[in-house]
Chain A
Amino acid sequence: MTLESLQRGQKGVIRAIDTSDPMVQRLMVLGLVEGAEIEHSSSAIGGDPLEFRLFGSAISLRKEHARHFTVSPLPNGG
């Protein structure tokens, strides 16, 4: 599954990234790389952009970019 489909409050670990989009590369510079644990914390009204927590900081992405990150979800509370 991708970042886009994480439920609110659900955590996941980034497993693979489609790096062809330059925007995705900028997001990797911000720390969205393989192995990073990420939590979908909230979204704007209408469900886009999405807000994620990443090692204690919060970052918002549009759905179209979140799609490029494949994650494996962690069990809740984990």
Chain B
Amino acid sequence: MAKSSVSRVSVDQITASRRPTASIAVVGNPNSGKSTLFNRLTGLRQRTANYPGATVEKHVGTANVGKTVLELIDLPGTFSLSANSMEERIAVDVVLGRMPGTNPPAGILAVVDMTNLYQGLYLVQQLMELELPMVVALTMSDAATLGGLRVDVDALRARLGGALVCPVVATTGLGIPALREALAELPELPNPEPPNFWPELSEAAESLASESEQSLRRIEIERAIIDGNGDFENLDEVRRELFGDEPPLAKEARYRYRWVREVLDEVQQKSPALKTWSSHIIAWLNRPVPGTIGLFVVMAIVFQAVFAWATPIMDAIDAGSAALGSFVAARLPDGAFSSLLSDGVIAGVGSVIVFLPQIMILFLFIILLEDSGYLARAAYLMDRVMRSVGLSGQSIIPMISSFACAVPGIMATRVIPNRRDRIATMLAAPFMTCSARLPVYALLIAAFVPAQSVGWLNLQGLVLLGLYVLGIVAGILTALLLKVTALRGPKPPFALMLPEFRKPNWRTVSMQLLGRVRIFLRRAGTVIFTVAVIVWALAYYPRSDTVASKLVEQQSVAEASLVGAALDEKLQQIEHQASADQLAQSWLGRAGQVVEPVFKPLGWDWKISAAVIAGFPAREVVIAVLGTVYAVGDEADDVRLAQRLKSATWPDGSAVFTLPMVFGLLIFYACCLQCAATLAVIQRETNSWRWPVFAWVYMSTIGYVGALLVFQLGSG
């Protein structure tokens, strides 16, 4: 016992010099440049986790300041300590030191956009009531100077009860050394003295404190009075006396902003801003019509980039993983291990990273748009359109993102503060035609839709367009339906701060990009990979000895009678047939035969049923399974596979792939939620299994009924 405690002490001594001595909460308005400053101060020494029970990311980093090391906690942006969203609630809980698993802060680094002192100082004033030492960083001081603003830093410091005030430019590093010096002093600074801006509130807080047996800080009592959530005997009475009929939040805002305006009059001087050519362009783009046209141009560029730039890289990844798979398969003796490695593991990893190019490009654009301040403007411009389908402008970006992949789209719903809106958007998003649906559309359309012209349009192109429109309409109707039924509620509040346009900061952009890619790989990647291995096992086991011995027998017959190219071709044909026979009696093949009656009304035979079952966890698997089941190999090109599909017949000789059946299959594909990664992300983001299960059942039902109607009406 004694020995272990001795060794622990020595370890402490070794690490003492590198361990943070105090935790500092970094608090500020959204878009105040807080994250850029945080990255500037901590560099790469930061880590991302989740707050317990919430999907809000926790960013913690360490900063060397002078001789000490501080732990910085970058909190979600907030306008006030009266929390309105989950992110704001977390910010409040952390600064009040009541967040489990997070160190109570020993001091506050308040980040205030110097061009927007008005809202910044409102929060600073609330933070002063924490009675913790505080440093105020005035960010974007360059933009403020350009805009004709001058701030008397000494006068501001005096009004902030002695908190240190440092003007900085986080993007260039200007003023950062002085900020580091200030932070080094922070733990020893005296607590700022909060201004007595509302004497009646202070009196009420004191009277409650004297009656209460709990030892609470003044800010906790004041927040309890204003927000009405506290365990005090006379709370209701005190609130009634203080507020009368006036809503507490309104009264608080009136009092605090009165103080803020007083401070601004004293410390801030404004001269007319310099008009630059860019400010004229921005002003013009803010007008309704040019702004809307600009938005469509931006969306077109993002779309183009996601599809055009990513495709060559995705093709290369596909080809690379296929080549690696056959390389491994060729070098290992045939058997379960070789198959697991090449068809299970390598194909599984490949199917995860094949999404990376698109997801990275999409994330890059979203982050660029977010960081430049454009995202809020897009939401504002599209609000009216989205409102007509029961959502708000904030749903537009998740919806657009889902055309590449629903996973980042659903992750992007975090910007929507209203929970009902957020869930409705999440459930509409998977209907958008994602990139994994495209290969199947391409295969079936090329094979079965005649390449004739309809007027000046191409029929194949029209069908593809129709499938896109189908997805959009189904998504919108879903959102509408949910908003009048399960997610019915008061109209969501809508007000957006529209940040100024600003050049994105590469450091912030790249760090955010890396962070999001890491989340995708960890969350979606593990699901896709696991599912790929499970599907492999279902398609591989059990092995049939009869098929295997028939393969050997046919091989020796062929070798005896044929030579050269003819032999190679025959051997390949025999091998593909053997794979098809193995699959037919595997668990997957048997499952296809078992469920065939279910899908028979849609015109599907057991082969298609098996491929669709295999595609439920990840829809892009369908083509590889169809390739195997139709004995053309799982890497067959579209043309050969298409030929086989065309010649597929029922036992009575009639074609399986009739036009109504193909259209039904396309509709099934457009509507079904065949993507385990999407389900996993919905589960994670809603923190419940209810919504992913609902989404799956709902979308599968629509897909089935749609395919049934098309096939039955089309064939009848």
Contact = CB atoms under 8 A, between A and B. Distances in A.
Given A41-B286, A44-B291, A30 B497 contact: yes
A77 to B, nearest CB: 11
Given A49-B494, A56-B147, A29 B383 contact: no
B324 to A, nearest CB: 51
B250 A57 contact: no
Contact of A60 (B119, B149, B380, B500): B380
A60 B286 CA distance: 12
B247 A25 contact: yes
Majority-rule SS of A interface residues: mixed
A22 B393 CA distance: 20
A49 B115 CA distance: 24
Contacts of A61: 494-495
A25 B119 CA distance: 15
Interface string B20-42: 00000000000000000000000
A16 B84 CA distance: 24
Interface in A1-46: 17, 19-20, 22-31, 33-36, 41-46
A54 B384 CA distance: 22
A44 B288 contact: yes
A35 B80 CA distance: 20
Interface string A47-67: 111010011111111100100
A59 B249 contact: no
B122 interface: yes
Interface stretch (B251-259, B334-342, B623-631): B251-259
B497 to A, nearest CB: 6
Nearest to A57: B116
Those 7 A-B pairs whose CB atoms lie nearest each other, nearest first: A55-B118, A28-B253, A58-B498, A23-B493, A25-B249, A19-B250, A60-B380
Given A45-B288, A61-B495, A25 B500 contact: no
Contact of B493 (A26, A34, A44, A45): A26
Interface in B72-109: 79-80, 82, 84
Contact of A25 (B250, B261, B494): B250
B287 A30 contact: no
A61 B118 CA distance: 18
Interface string B230-271: 000000000000000011011011100110110010000000
A73 B496 CA distance: 23
Contacts of B116: 55-57
- Residue from A19, A22, A42, A49 having most chain B Cβ neighbours under 10 A: A49
Contacts of B505: none
Contact of B380 (A25, A44, A47): A44
B292 interface: yes
B548 interface: no
Interface string B498-537: 1110000000000000000000000000000000000000
Contacts of A60: 380, 383, 495-496, 498
Contacts of B286: 41-42, 51
Contacts of A35: 257-258, 261
19 contacts: A26-B84, A26-B493, A29-B79, A29-B249, A29-B252, A30-B79, A31-B122, A35-B258, A42-B287, A44-B383, A46-B288, A49-B393, A55-B119, A56-B115, A57-B497, A57-B498, A59-B495, A59-B496, A61-B494
A45 B122 contact: no
A50 to B, nearest CB: 10
A62 B383 contact: yes
Contacts of B498: 51, 57-60
Contacts of B384: 44-46, 48-49
A31 to B, nearest CB: 6
Contacts of A44: 288, 291-292, 380-384
Interface residues of B, number: 44
A33 B545 CA distance: 82
Interface residues of A, number: 37
B254 A34 contact: yes
Contacts of B493: 22-23, 26
A76 B253 CA distance: 28
Given A47-B288, A55-B116, 7 more contacts: A23-B494, A31-B118, A35-B257, A41-B286, A49-B496, A51-B498, A56-B116
A26 B253 CA distance: 9
Contacts of B149: 56
Nearest to A35: B261
A45 B289 contact: yes
Interface string B454-497: 00000000000000000000000000000000000000011111
Contact of A19 (B246, B381, B495, B499): B246
Contacts of A59: 495-498
B380 A31 contact: no
B119 A57 contact: yes
A36 B118 CA distance: 10
B118 A54 contact: yes
A20 to B, nearest CB: 8
Contacts of B119: 30-31, 55, 57
A65 B287 CA distance: 21
A49 B376 CA distance: 13
B118 A42 contact: no
A24 B79 CA distance: 15
A67 to B, nearest CB: 13
Contacts of A20: 247
A56 B428 CA distance: 37
Nearest to B393: A49
B495 A26 contact: yes
Given A31-B119, A49-B494, A59-B495, A19 B247 contact: yes
Given A51-B380, A57-B119, A60-B380, A30 B289 contact: no
